[in-house]
Amino acid sequence: MVKPFEKTILVGYRYIHFNAVIINCWITTSSETGLYDNRGFTREEKFQLITGHWAIISFFIALCIVLWLLRTDIRDRHLDTKRSTVPATIGWIFIGFFLAFFSQSIAGMIEMYVLGIKPGSENTARLMDIARTTPWFLIVISIIGPILEEIVFRKILFGTLYKKFNFFIAAIISSLVFAAIHFDFTHLLVYTAMGLVFAFLYVKTKRIIVPIAAHVAMNTLVAVAQVLVSNEQIQEMIKEAEKMQGFIGGFLV
């Protein structure tokens, strides 16, 4: 009999494999049928459009599937008497947003001054390029993506591990997987730090909506800011951030 944890990993692996096959077919079909031809797009822009459109479709389907699989948990959620009250939940959402932002900043400073890693994420830059070409892709980055990630990595993966191990082991393992799935290994520490915060919020409130809302708020802020701000302005802001972190870091060393 397949255990729940093993079933989760199996379903996740099959979905990733299925998604890779379908997106390859989507790109091939789009290229052969000329779906994005004769519209003045460069080759790179066409690839971004194809990626963006398929991401919107696949993430929406994945969200529907996950919510359907969790329909019993969603229906019985009110039976958990240890859940935070509504006012406390709202408060923890705001606190969680600032905790995640603070942890990201501290992790970024450690990467810069201890590990010698330059600020700026290639993964985020690629996603923003797709979003500028396909604005609807912002829904995936800001809303659908964070919802799926919190359900998979916090509710399912962390929740399963937390039943067998203590908080730190479960949180670190799930956070490392959360970091690795972003394929941005240079900034593994930043993603891990945020994963730890989201795991803490889930345990503290017993409500998955809290890390979801904090994650959505953070991603939305970053996505909207980067779409509205030009690349030149972003580079200037990074330089200013380096100066500020250098000033703060001087007190920490």
Q: Where are the domains of the chain?
A: 4-78+85-252
- The residue annotated as part of the active site, out of 6, 17, 78, 182, is 182
Are 129 and 45 in contact, with CB atoms under 8 Å apart? no
The proportion of the chain whose per-residue pLDDT surpasses 70, expressed as a percent, equals 71
User: What tens digit of pLDDT does each residue of 47-105 get?
Assistant: 777 777 778 888 888 888 888 877 887 777 777 778 888 899 999 999 999 999 999 88
End-to-end CA distance of the chain: 53
**Could you tell me which residues come within 8 angstroms of residue 211 by beta carbon, excluding any fewer than 6 positions away?**
96, 150, 154, 198, 199, 201, 202
Quote the Cα angle for 163-167-168, to 5°: 135
pLDDT higher than threshold 90 for residue 119: no
Q: For this structure, is 6 an active site residue?
A: no
CA 103 to chain centre: 15
Residue 13's pLDDT is 47
The reply to whether 182 belongs to the active site is: yes
Which DSSP category does 79 fall into? G
Within 10 angstroms of residue 129's Cβ, the number of other Cβ atoms is 18
The rounded Cα 86 to chain-centroid distance in angstroms is: 25
Q: What is the pTM of this model?
A: 0.76
* 53, 111, 149, 187: the active-site residue: 149
Residue 121 or residue 2, greater confidence: 121
